[in-house]
Copies of this chain bind each other. A is one copy, B any other.
Amino acid sequence: MPYLRTCPPQPEPIDCRILTAALDLFVENGYHNVSIHEVQKRAGVSIGSIYNYFGGKEGIAQALYKHILKELDDLVDSVVAEYASPWQQCASLIRQLFGYTETHRNIIAFIFHAKHNEFLSEDPLATLSQPFIKMRSIIKKGIECGEFIALDPWVMSASVFGGAIRLIQLRLDGMLDQPLPYYEEMLLKTIETGIRKP
């Protein structure tokens, strides 16, 4: 079951096994290159069970997407609760995303390295989901409270998170020799220098 911060129940119920198997296959091969019979085999369940729980292939992907976005949302909430300053919130969030890219690779990949609109008909733009909205809200607060320079919030958001997302994708593509925490303070330094109000 694709949790970031929780332990999966044991024994794992059928629906969780389907989601875990599907996540691994979708990330490894791309949604469209995975047949539902492959998910079935990897999860060790019957074809009919998949339809019973999720209504079909897209239903699996939709459930995965919502579930992982909820996990991300909780992560953003915890960061906001733990730190007072918008910069610290951004920095901590990037550190945690980098850490999870190393430890929960497929979960991060499913949200940050996929074209959801190619296989989801409902709400396929991750950037319109709660966690991303909250991330932009942190940026706006940073501008309002004078910690960040006052530029367009989309620009500021791209400046803060664009480089981090890029490194995550490069790591997932196998381009980087080191785990992401190796690069993290360097990246945070350039971001901070670029967006902090002098």
Q: Which residues of A contact B (CB under 8 A)?
A: 29-33, 113-115, 117-119, 125, 127-128, 149, 151-152, 154-156, 158-159, 161-167, 170, 173, 175-176, 183, 186-187, 189-195
A127 to B167, CA, bound (A): 12
Smallest Cβ-Cβ distance to A195: which chain B residue: B190
- Give which listed residue, B165, B173, B193, contacts A166 with CB less than 8 A: B165
Whether A161 pairs with B166 at a CB distance below 8 angstroms is yes
Instruction: Enumerate 27 A-B pairs (CB-CB under 8 Å) in ascending A order.
Output: A30-B32, A30-B115, A30-B117, A32-B118, A33-B118, A125-B173, A125-B175, A127-B170, A127-B173, A151-B189, A151-B190, A152-B183, A154-B176, A154-B183, A155-B163, A155-B186, A155-B187, A158-B166, A158-B167, A159-B194, A162-B163, A163-B163, A166-B166, A190-B195, A193-B193, A193-B194, A194-B194
A147 CB → nearest B CB, Å:
14
Smallest Cβ-Cβ distance to A196: which chain B residue: B193
Whether A190 pairs with B194 at a CB distance below 8 angstroms is yes
9 A-B pairs with the lowest CB-CB distances in the bound complex, closest first: A194-B194, A162-B166, A30-B118, A162-B163, A32-B32, A190-B194, A158-B166, A162-B162, A158-B163
